[in-house]
Homo-oligomer: A and B are copies of this chain.
Amino acid sequence: MSKLLDQAVAELAKLPGIGKRTALRLAIHLLRREKDEVALLAESLQRFRNEVRYCRHCNNLSDQEICPICADPRRDRTTVCVVEYVKDVISIENTRQYHGMYHVLGGIISPMQGISPSDLKIDLLLENIARGEISEVILALSTSVEGETTSFYITRRLADCAGIRVSSLARGIGFGDELDYADELTIAHALHNRTLIGQ
């Protein structure tokens, strides 16, 4: 019907979670927007892809060589929180409860998907730790087998570094979660590690 429409739909449908039908709806929606607005969308996607970089220290996304978190003198340089992806940094930053540094691995060890330790920024983490400022490593990885494997691998590699505390995020029932929807492993763990709240 319209090759321009077909092409816009085909390109949108390549995005994850966006099927042909949604892509068509999005494309048609663009017609109702000003040309300038669509140009801004197109340019912001392209600029992001072309210009964004990875922080030389922590592998976080950054517009500069060093990300704003690593460059911020007010952050606590003795603690580093190890995460899989950039989105995890955003999730933790949104809590406004953490004031240390981050380290973005870029994934987790997954033999099934052919991701080995050398594909991740683990050496960079060890280099940063070797510099001597860090005293605690918080492993904030997935609770999956791959996450546990990665945590185990990093913990083992850190065994040589004297005086480094390694912790992981507390497991338990999430706030607002229903007990009957939580899995058995979580409930068992939450029971075993119960918190004393009175005498």
Contact = CB atoms under 8 A, between A and B. Distances in A.
Contacts of A192: none
23 contacts: A1-B61, A1-B67, A1-B89, A2-B62, A2-B63, A4-B47, A4-B52, A5-B48, A8-B44, A12-B41, A14-B37, A14-B41, A18-B26, A24-B87, A27-B45, A28-B87, A30-B48, A30-B49, A33-B49, A35-B49, A38-B49, A39-B46, A42-B43
A90 interface: yes
Nearest to A10: B44
Interface of A: 1-5, 7-8, 10-12, 14-18, 22, 24-31, 33, 35, 37-52, 60-63, 67-69, 85-87, 89-90, 93
Nearest to A102: B1
* Number of identical monomers bound together in the oligomeric complex: 2
A71 B142 CA distance: 57
Contact of A2 (B8, B22, B61): B61
Given A12-B41, A28-B85, A42-B42, A1 B47 contact: no
Contacts of A43: 42
A3 to B, nearest CB: 6
A26 to B, nearest CB: 5
A43 to B, nearest CB: 7
Given A16-B26, A87-B24, A1 B48 contact: no
B89 A4 contact: no
B41 A16 contact: no
Given A1-B68, A42-B42, 10 more contacts: A1-B60, A1-B61, A1-B67, A4-B48, A7-B48, A14-B37, A31-B61, A38-B45, A42-B43, A42-B45
A21 to B, nearest CB: 9
Contact of A45 (B22, B28, B30, B86): B30
